[in-house]
Amino acid sequence: MTDYRIEKDSLGEVKVPKDVYWGAQTQRAIENFPISGEVFESGFIRALGIIKKSAAKANGELGFLEQKVVEAIVLAADEVISGELVDQFQVDVFQTGSGTSSNMNANEVIANRACEIVGEDIGSKVIHPNDHVNFGQSSNDIIPTAMHVSALESIDKEVVPALEILKSALEKKEKEFSGVVKTGRTHLQDATPITLGQEFGGYKTQIEKGIKRLENVRSSLAELPIGGTAVGTGLNMHPEFPKIASKYISEETGISFREAIDHFEAQAAHDAMSEAHAALRVVAGSMNKIANDLRLLASGPRNGLGEIKQPENQPGSSIMPGKINPVMAEAVNQVHKRVIGNDMTIAYGAAEGQLELNLYKPILANDFLNSTKIISNVAVVFAEKFIDLLNANKEKCENQVEWSMALATSLSPHIGYDKAAKIAKEAYVNEKTVREVAIEMGEISEADADDMLDARRMTKPGILESEE
């Protein structure tokens, strides 16, 4: 049987499990919202700890909190930041739209732990969740501040480093496969030659540009709503508080944050979150395209394209012995679909603010961090367990390209489109190479064919001429 203690809030007494740090308002929220069983990502909890620590230091500096209280709050907040108290945050993501329940969860946990630190009883409110931990703050500015802090931390410290690993893996394959000439394809039909290295170079550039897109949204996320309090006016807050608190948040995270230009915009709308997640959606789409291409190139191994050899990560079938599937690429595909779903939620939520407050803060925060987590994780495993282990089937690539009717393209500048098309069709119908038919029809000599139908030369810009 669970032992309880009695805590009070403005509505009266509440039974709270004796061995937890949360208080009455958190307990009410746990009981009010048994909806999904899903609690906030750890990065968001960490951000709340950073903000409460920074706020306490700022209020101490401004003379609103005694140093003893500041020190206790800081120590308690440090435990939240480190993850030691993550199990104390059990409020469902689907809660009040302002995130008040989670703000109070942080206030109560930190206050009760701080009470314990100074030698007082949990629930004594010697260090008060509202009067001390939440001084000069409102859920309406603190939750969106945590949204920005956690979003930018996750991008800077998780997503970008993971994408750099993926980019590096693709760049290595770009160099490794630079000498492998193969058939290019458009509309999934044979097209002019390309090198396998050029294909991988394109993939590398996609990820490279994705990283730049994420860098471009940093400035918007670096603006912090803290200091707006209830509706953006800053009531019950010292005018210097947001600047000082932002300084401490920057020191704690190693990221340069600043006070929002307009607090009314910062609390009523979450365009920055929508903008930043759009960049994540593009990154996920890039990885999805790459994964799909590699699945096609590795298809077979005997009756598909088979131009690359995929790693054997695990047995592919419960009924077909020896079958190997592109499981890592398929994981990327599934992450992309989840990110698209998250993006839809965030786009709708960010656009649905009413007057001075957007009321979709919890789901915006959580789905954003879900995207950063799964993108980061899948980028690393995709790089290390799939791309790093790919090998080129050079012989097959080169044999296939010699049989491509698209080689006739290089003849067009010399003999005209119609004659080149006739050569290509004859080659297909009679199961011959373009080279064989072009020589047989007397359009080019064997010597000219060596130069004008050189697949490797076709992978570079220019009009192929005979070198004789």
- Over the stretch 52-97, which tens digit does the pLDDT of each residue have? 999 999 999 999 999 999 999 999 999 999 999 999 999 999 999 9
Neighbouring residues of 207: CB distance < 8 A, sequence distance ≥ 6: 163, 166, 167, 170, 283, 286, 287, 290
The pair of three-digit structure tokens given for residue 347, joined into one six-digit string: 């786009």
Kindly list the distances between the CA atom of residue 120 and the CA atoms of 97, 125, 172, 275, in Å, as whole numbers in the listed order. 34, 9, 59, 46
Structural domain that includes position 440: 403-459
Nearest C-alpha neighbor of 306 from the set 399, 405, 387, 428:
399
Residue 468 lies in a domain: no
Q: Is residue 355 classed as helix, strand or coil in its secondary structure? A: coil
Residue 76 CB partners (closer than 8 Å, separation 6+): 109, 110, 111, 113, 114, 117
172 burial (CB, 10 Å; 0-12 / 13-18 / 19+) is: middle
Task: Specify the pTM.
Answer: 0.94
Instruction: Supply the CATH number for residue 376's domain.
Output: 1.20.200.10
Residue 321: what pLDDT?
Answer: 84
Contact predicate 230/196, CB 8 Å: no
Name the band, by pLDDT with cuts 50, 70 and 90, for residue 450. Answer: confident
| Helices and strands (DSSP H and E) totals, the chain | 18, 8
Q: Is residue 467 part of a domain?
A: no
Per-residue pLDDT, averaged over 39-54, amounts to 97
More reliable by pLDDT, 418 or 448: 418
Q: Are residues 170 and 205 in the same domain?
A: yes
Q: Is 317 tagged catalytic?
A: yes
**In the chain, pLDDT over 90 holds for what percent of residues?**
88
Clarify whether residues 164 and 262 are in a common domain: yes
Mean pLDDT of 351-365: 94
* 467 has a pLDDT exceeding 80: no
Contact 263, 141 (CB under 8 A): yes
Tokens of 467: 């070198």
Identify the pLDDT of residue 468: 56
208 and 114 within one domain? no
Q: What is the pLDDT of residues 264-301, one digit of tens each?
A: 999 999 999 999 999 999 999 999 999 999 999 999 88
Contact between 466 and 447 (Cβ < 8 Å): yes
Residue 421 lies in a domain: yes
Residue 88 forms part of a structural domain: yes
Question: Can you list the alpha helix ranges (DSSP code H) found in 62-159?
Answer: 67-82, 100-117, 139-154
Last residue of a domain, one of 365, 394, 423: 394
The answer to whether position 464 is within a domain reads no
HEC profile of 133-184: HCCCCCHHHHHHHHHHHHHHHHHHHHHHHHHHHHHHHHHHHHHHCCCCEEEE
Active-site residue identified among 317, 412, 414, 445: 317
Confidence of residue 429 (pLDDT cuts 50, 70, 90): very high
Strand 258-259 and strand 308-309: the pairing is: unpaired
Residue 452 lies in a domain: yes
Q: Do 346 and 204 lie in a common domain?
A: yes
Mark whether 209 and 245 lie in a shared domain.
yes
Residue 212 is assigned to a structural domain of this protein: yes
By the 10 Å C-beta count (0-12 exposed, 13-18 middle, 19+ buried), 65 is classed as buried
In contact, 375 and 280? CB cutoff 8 Å: yes
Per-residue pLDDT at 2: 74
Q: Are 258 and 149 in the same domain?
A: yes
pLDDT of 1 strictly over 60: no
Same domain, 192 and 325: yes
Q: Which whole number is the average pLDDT over 356-385?
A: 97
In the block, residue with structure tokens 């009010």: 32
Does one domain contain both 177 and 291? yes
First to last CA, the chain: 95
Q: Has 412 been annotated as catalytic?
A: no
Q: How many domains does the chain have?
A: 3
CATH code for the domain in which residue 46 is found: 1.10.275.10
Phi, then psi, of 242 in degrees rounded to 5:
-65, -35
Q: What is the model's pLDDT at position 320? A: 85
Q: Is residue 466 part of a domain?
A: no
Of the residues 120, 135, 150, the one at which a domain ends: 135
User: pLDDT, tens digit, for every residue of 315-341?
Assistant: 877 888 888 899 999 999 999 999 999
For the segment 166-210, what is each residue's pLDDT rounded down to a tens digit?
A: 999 999 999 999 999 999 999 999 999 999 999 999 999 999 999
> How long a stretch of residues is the chain?
468
